[in-house]
Amino acid sequence: MTKPLVIVESPTKEKTLKKYLGNQYRVASTVGHIKDLPQKEFGIDVENRFAPKYVTVPGKQKVIKALKAAAQDAAEVYLAPDPDREGEAIAFHTADILKKKDGPRFYRILFHEITKKGVQEALAKTESLNENKYKAQQTRRILDRLVGYEVSPILWKKVKYGLSAGRVQSVAVRMICEREREIQAFEPVEYWSVTAHLEGENPPPFAAKLAKKSGKKLTISNEQEASVVLDELKQADFIVDKIVKKTVKRNPYPPFITSKLQQDAIRRLRFSAKKTMSVAQQLYEGLDLGQGEYVGLITYMRTDSTRISAEAANEALDLIRSTFGDDYALDRPRFFKNKNKAQDAHEAIRPTSVYNTPEKVAPYLSKDQLSLYRLIWNRFVASQMAQALIDQQTININAGDYLFTASGSTVKFPGFLALYQSAEEDSEGKGKNGEKIELPELSEGMRLTVNQIEPKQHFTTPPPRYSEASLVKALEENGIGRPSTYAAILSNIKDKGYVALEKGYFHPSELGCIVSDLLVENFPDIFNVDFTAQMENDLDRVEASEADALDVLNRFYQVFESRVEKAADHMHSVKGVGIPTNLSCPSCGKRLHIKVGKNGPFLACEGYPECTYSRNYTRDDKGQIHPVEPAHEAAEGEICDKCGRPMVVKQGKYGDFLACSGYPECKNTRSLNGNMKNAPSTGVKCPQEGCDGELVERKSKRGKIFYGCSRFPNCTYALWDKPVPKPCPLCGAPFLVEKTTKKEGTVLKCINEACGYKE
């Protein structure tokens, strides 16, 4: 018999494990999932208890062959994919392809941290494959397949080919669209504030806000009311009525769970949720800290638990005493209660050793890896530090019948704040521009000097659009998705064009809102926040052996099947009839409808084909529709070289182009090329065979820069990276492309990926 075989899902983790296991074990990796539902067919036998049909993931035949060869003579196979539902599915499918008569014994091992100690503990504590966890993963996969494969074709028929619906992601799009409608419907309300700029016997001067009149909260609605208040204050004496001083104790936050890590990384590091999880995976699986020493720097990064081991907490306390002093250390470790006891399979996200300080590992990490590791390290160590002591002072000032207040705070003892502060704590005690608010020493009964009384007009503001951080928070609070899915949800809704992330905030696309409205109207319970949250709870109960997977699927499908049948017949056809608007056609007077074409939504007359009026459109801040007239001036002097009619500007997938006004009788088109002032040339010839155009800078409909052929629409060659007129010295490719990353900065790479040249 050969050595025992350990199978993980990642080549990086394989490399790290080989270091710890030495020559006593063989190590191989599945490189992710090796089996899944088929890509081009339904793959679920609904009549046969929802039996899934698993097939080999395309491209994994060589991996499976290598795994079988590695396990050929092994008596023991340790299955060690990630310790979550997806990892359990990989373990089950791996065991399934390797099992044979008189074959190896299979053991499940869970690496919560990839360190020497973590690996030894996992091997000493082997488990059986967890069938309930696998059933939970399989049930989720079946649910997602049912929704995707049965709802998406309805959207193809009613709206546009290629659209898709997702059990969870469609709910996220719904939340974003509903927030946009709230913003559009919002009517601002005017109000005024009054600030008194005062000075006591001792510096510095300070500001106080008007709060009450005659003991009741005061609201000033307009300039006239503000003027009355100002007139009355001119005669008033400003006298200190009451000074309240107190010291507040503040406890640190618990170590990160997945959602909180994503939110903090988005706010502080400007990482996307997807990038956060990608970098965290690198830190978990292991990095080379010099001389081939691979070390997993953090514990498993998909967790809902704030639990930490006593050993890790005590190690942190020892470091705090030696680095910060005894005043900053607790007498005994601080532990945190979990909100959901069922989600306690893993510890919180923490460094595998606090002695791997950010400064120590900095030379071996990329900028992104170090930034995220520092965030995780700081939050964990801070969670074991002493409370912060905050001195707070509130001053009440009487001015006749009016009451003004001023408040400020100072840090008496920083405690954990010396290492980690939330955004709120960082801005506490500061003004709007970040300046520190200082209050002078005052005494009750002291008369104050009035330097200025400042009235200011304000308007109430609508609810903010979701950022990535606030959407993750909202998904978490509503029970939508789980830690392992947040990043994928956000990535999917962007990639599918249902939403766009502009200046850090999600804006729904017109198509996104059209699809969302149709899904909510026809599947009111399936794409409902509460219903989706309950399904997530049901999956948790399946994993905990508190619910039967088949019962969960049957209950879902009873509701879902009837909705699908009804929607197939009754869902409104945007592709055909369109969505009515309140606008009249300027050509014939009939109503304009919203339709969806290959280039997105547009306005068209309901009288088509008798009336062929159509326009692109935009919406204003209130959601009102405004047709966009074509830019005829851009086509001035342009005549069709086939029929002699004027050329007009039209919008295509890759930008504007010239088309004959005699369409459909004449279908001649021509590139705007020389007429486009906003299409600077790159000096690179189009590589498409037989094309004599050159690559120019263009802008997509969403405003993103790309580079396309000047012969568009006759040639549709395009790429995102900027082409540079410099041939590859290695393979002779006609040009290089410019790429900029945080890790490498700006580099030139060969357009031929197989070449790999970079400078």
Looking at the annotation, which residues are catalytic? Answer: 300
Cβ neighbours for 14, distance < 8 A, ≥ 6 positions apart: 8, 27, 28, 29
For residue 754, what are its two tokens? 């197989």
* 3-class DSSP string for 455-474: EEEEECCCCCCCEHHHHHHH
Helix (H, G, I), strand (E, B) or coil at 652: strand
| C-alpha to C-alpha distances, 722 to 150, 599, 649, 657, 711, nearest whole angstrom | 40, 24, 26, 22, 18
Residue 469 backbone zone (phi > 0: left; psi -120 to 50: alpha; other: beta):
alpha
Q: Determine the Cα–Cα distance for residues 465 and 467; give it in Å rounded to an integer.
A: 6
* Other CB atoms within 10 A of residue 571 CB: 19
Placement of tokens 């690996």 in the chain = 119
Query: How far apart are alpha carbons 396 and 239 in whole angstroms?
Result: 9
State in Å, rounded, how far the first CA of the chain is from the last one.
49
Give the chain's length: 759
Element (H, E) at 628: strand 625-628
Cα–Cα distance measured from residue 396 to residue 349, given in angstroms and rounded to the nearest whole number: 44
Angle (CA) 86-92-93 rounded to 5° is 90
Asked if residue 506 lies in contact with residue 499, where contact means CB atoms within 8 angstroms, the answer is: yes
Can you say how many angstroms the Cα of residue 448 is from the centroid of all Cα atoms in its chain? 51
Written as six digits, the tokens of 443 are 């005494």
Instruction: Provide the 3-class DSSP secondary structure of residue 576.
Output: coil
Q: Alpha helices, DSSP H only, in 544-599?
A: 549-570
What whole-number distance in Å separates Cα of residue 718 and Cα of residue 698?
Answer: 9
- Within 10 A of 455 (CB to CB), how many other CB atoms are there? 17
Q: Helix, strand, coil % (nearest 5) of the chain?
A: 35, 25, 40
**Cα(647)–Cα(661) distance, rounded to whole angstroms?**
6
Choose among 98, 77, 91: nearest CA to 138: 91
CA distances from 376 to 260, 282, 352, 485 (A): 11, 14, 11, 20
Q: Nearest 5°: CA angle at 47, between 43 and 53?
A: 20
For residue 117, report the phi and psi dihedrals to the nearest 5 degrees.
-65, -45
Amino acid letter at 104?
P
Which contiguous run of DSSP H or E holds residue 44?
Answer: strand 44-45
* DSSP per-residue codes, 511-540: HHHHHHHHHHHH-TTTT-HHHHHHHHHHHH
Write the DSSP assignment of 159-214 as a string of letters: T-TT----TTHHHHHHHHHHHHHHHHH----EEEEEEEEEE-SSSPPEEEEEEEET
**Cα 204 from Cα 417, distance rounded (Å):** 26
Quote the strand ranges of 188-321, DSSP E.
190-199, 206-213, 216-217, 238-250, 287-288, 294-295
Residue 335 to residues 203, 313, 385, 605: CA-CA distances in angstroms? 44, 8, 12, 65
Query: If we measure between CA atoms, which residue out of 212, 204, 216 comes closest to residue 408?
Result: 204
